[in-house]
């Protein structure tokens, strides 16, 4: 009888311990994906370092205060002062950029993907193959940094600058303002996205400097590669 009682108590302890572990993960900002994989949802103290990619979706309940730019694009208010300073300094040096794309809602991201798929289909690809090709350059809705409001696609004002001028300046200087080139040419296997010299992500000046000088991508910097 005592032996059965000890077994019962032991089983109860195991259940309590398991529950405590699950509570600790979820309360600490972690969540379980549908595949059972644990993924970070948000670094509450440093939201600018929130990782979003194919394996880490936009946090549930993510909300962001937005600032509307002169061309109608929107960005997180958090990044606006540094973005404006960077653009002012570029223009002072005779280089003229503009934000081609900033914040996107989930619905907008879905439309961007569907448009890219349709474009490939018009070239003769099957829908399944068109989707595969589209996902090489367009993130699955829910896994796009644009939904955070912390990412910007920066292009050149073609009347006054070239794309090469803008991309070269950004590659060398953007980190000073808290931005990193999110999808470097030599990190495609880690990021899962082809090289995009126009796509910059705000991570804050301290982290941007460390990432720039180490040559890492965001996944490597956060230990998530």
Region 72-81: mean pLDDT is: 97
Sort 14 into a burial class: Cβ within 10 Å, 0-12 / 13-18 / 19+: exposed
Please check whether residues 90 and 171 belong to one and the same domain. Answer: yes
Claim to verify: residue 137 and residue 153 sit in the same structural domain? no
Residue span of the structural domain in which 23 resides: 1-32
SS3 12: helix
CB burial of residue 28 (10 Å; 0-12, 13-18, 19+) = exposed
Residue 81 lies in a domain: yes
Burial 111-146 (b: 16+ CB within 10 A, else e): ebbeebbeebbeeebeeeebbebbbeebbebebbbb
Entry field: residues in the chain: 225
Residues annotated as catalytic are 196
Q: For the chain, give me the number of helices (H) and strands (E)? A: 8, 8
Does residue 138 sit in the same domain as residue 222?
no
Q: How sure is the predictor about 225, in pLDDT bands with cuts at 50, 70 and 90?
A: confident
In this predicted structure, the answer to whether residue 121 has a pLDDT above a threshold of 60 is yes
For 151, the enclosing helix (H) or strand (E) is strand 151-156
- Number of Cβ atoms within 10 Å of the Cβ of 70: 7
Count of domains for the chain? 3
Point out the least confidently predicted range of 21-25, 52-56, 114-118, 159-163: 21-25
Q: Residue 50 sits in a domain of what CATH number? A: 3.30.1380.10
pLDDT at 46: 86
Residues 91 and 178 placed together within one structural domain of the fold: yes
Burial degree of 148 (CB within 10 A; 0-12, 13-18, 19+): buried
Per the CB < 8 A criterion, the answer to whether 40 and 56 are in contact is yes
Please indicate, yes or no, whether residues 51 and 153 belong to a single structural domain of this protein.
Answer: yes
**Average model confidence (pLDDT) across the chain:** 85
Q: Could you read off the pLDDT of 21-76 as tens digits, one per residue?
A: 333 323 333 333 333 333 444 444 689 999 999 999 999 889 999 999 999 999 99
Spatial CB neighbours of 71, under 8 Å, sequence gap ≥ 6: 98, 99
Residues 99/154, Cβ–Cβ less than 8 Å: yes
Domain boundary among 91, 118, 142: 142
**Does some domain include residue 39?**
no
Predicted pLDDT at 45: 67
- Could you tell me the pLDDT band of residue 6, with boundaries at 50, 70 and 90? very low
Residue 116 falls inside a structural domain: yes
Kindly state whether residues 51 and 131 are assigned to the same domain.
no
């Amino acid at each position: 009888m005592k032996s059965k009682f000890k077994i019962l108590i032991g089983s109860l302890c195991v259940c309590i311990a398991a529950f405590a572990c699950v509570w600790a993960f979820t309360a600490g900002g972690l969540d379980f994906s549908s595949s059972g994989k644990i993924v970070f949802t948000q670094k509450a103290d440093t939201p600018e370092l929130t990782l979003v990619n194919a394996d880490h979706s936009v946090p549930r309940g993510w909300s962001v205060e937005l600032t509307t730019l002169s061309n109608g694009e929107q960005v997180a208010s958090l990044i606006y002062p540094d973005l404006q300073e960077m653009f002012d300094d570029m223009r002072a040096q005779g280089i003229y950029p503009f934000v081609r794309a900033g914040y996107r809602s989930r619905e907008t991201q879905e439309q961007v993907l569907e448009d890219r798929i349709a474009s490939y289909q018009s070239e003769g690809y099957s829908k399944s193959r068109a989707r595969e090709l589209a996902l090489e350059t367009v993130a699955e809705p829910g896994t796009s940094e644009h939904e955070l409001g912390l990412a910007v696609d920066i292009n050149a004002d073609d009347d006054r600058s070239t794309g090469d001028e803008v991309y070269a300046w950004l590659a060398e200087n953007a980190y000073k303002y808290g931005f990193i080139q999110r999808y470097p040419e030599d990190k495609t296997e880690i990021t899962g996205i082809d090289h995009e010299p126009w796509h910059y992500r705000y991570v804050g000046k301290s982290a941007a400097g460390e990432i720039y000088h180490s040559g890492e991508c965001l996944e490597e910097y956060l230990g998530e590669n």
